[in-house]
Amino acid sequence: MSALFSPIKLRGLTLSNRIVVSPMCQYSAVDGEANDWHFTHINSLALSGAAMFCIEATHVEAIGRITPGCLGLWNDATEAALKPILASVRKRSKAAVAMQLAHAGRKGSSHTPWDGGQLIPPAEGGWQPVGPSAIPHKQGEAPPLALDTAGLARIRDAFVSATKRAERLGIDAIEIHGAHGYLLHQFLSPIANQRTDQYGGSLENRMRYPLEVFDAVRAAFPADKPVGMRVSSTDWVDGGWDLTQTIAFANELKKRGVDWIDASSGGVSPLQKIPLGPGYQVPFAQAIREATGLTTMAVGLITDPKQAEEIVASGKADMVALARGLLYDPRWGWHAAAELGGTVDAPPQYWRSQPSTQKALFGATTFGTR
């Protein structure tokens, strides 16, 4: 039996396989509201064969967006915009739907990647970003506004409000974004966090605010639904956040009932030097899993079914999350099942597409016509 196509249980949620559609920013929302692009994108990848689809970074307040086109869940309009999309997914797909809740912090108010990704000044339609310290992400940029006590409370409460909205929408799981140089990662990394109060300095202090946000989200979400955390396992910069600190953070999250660690890396500094290659972040998921006993998710240049199978079968990670690979091949899960001897859920309208050599691919053996 394929390890990749074996079930896994996360609290009250049972996934039929170990494939996850990783959250992928689409930069296509208007005022934080999902639209026809998201309808097409989400419905398509919910039929990919992955057991869980994670909605892209969904920002908890307007100034927490990375770009003006980023998705949000901070008011009734952004909540209402997601309802018809999720209703359609539920009609056609058995995939669990997760949502990644996020705040961009000092990386907010940026152009989309295809427009250069640079900071947008308020005079040109941007806004004032915030962060743990008044240190810009990139040399020469305007600094963010250092968050005071009221600002920290506002953002923590915004995560709670978005969590409650996600529950009203019927979201099955939440992933908190603590990676890629966004706000919670900024608090963790000494590169971005140079505070002198209880939220800066020591590792314990730098972990404090991300742990407070996790606690608040976990308390606001139903106890039988899982909450995970995406982390950047290293900054890839000397003197920055690293794997040893990540494991310490993961152990603190374990005490609080985290359900998985999604092990990514980088994003907090343009000085990072990342040695890209197939599965280059898998060792982080493995190290965290071995050190903490937590369920981990491997992500990053996982493209081949046999590669994904080996990651899970060898115990390097419990799940694999794919992003670009699924954009290129939106039926990646089907093809992996065919190669590895697994089965996937698919709507009956598509059953006749399976190759003659794969009669059990969809768990259906006949397709009658008259």
Instruction: Write down the residue that tokens 């590792």 correspond to.
Output: 203
| Backbone angles phi and psi of 33, in degrees to 5 | -90, 130
User: What contacts 326, CB < 8 A, 6 or more positions away?
Assistant: 21, 22, 45, 48, 50, 332
The Cα 300–Cα 278 span in angstroms is 7
Active site residue 27: no
Residue 145: which H helix or E strand, with range?
strand 145-146
Instruction: Provide the 8-state DSSP code for 119.
Output: B
Question: Which helix (H) or strand (E) is 11 found in, with range?
Answer: none
What is d(CA 207, CA 327) in angstroms, rounded to the nearest whole number?
34
Which stretch of DSSP H or E encloses residue 340?
helix 332-340
**CA geometry: angle 117, 120, 124, nearest 5 deg:** 140
Find the Cα–Cα–Cα–Cα dihedral 335, 328, 71, 36, rounded to 10°: -90
Q: Which residue has the tokens 């000397």?
A: 238
Place of tokens 């996790």: 214
Name the nearest CA neighbour of 272 among 241, 300, 250, 297.
241
Give 145: exposed, middle or buried? Use CB within 10 Å, 0-12, 13-18, 19+: middle
Considering the candidates 27, 182, 199, 209, report the single residue annotated as catalytic. 182
The set of catalytic residues is 182
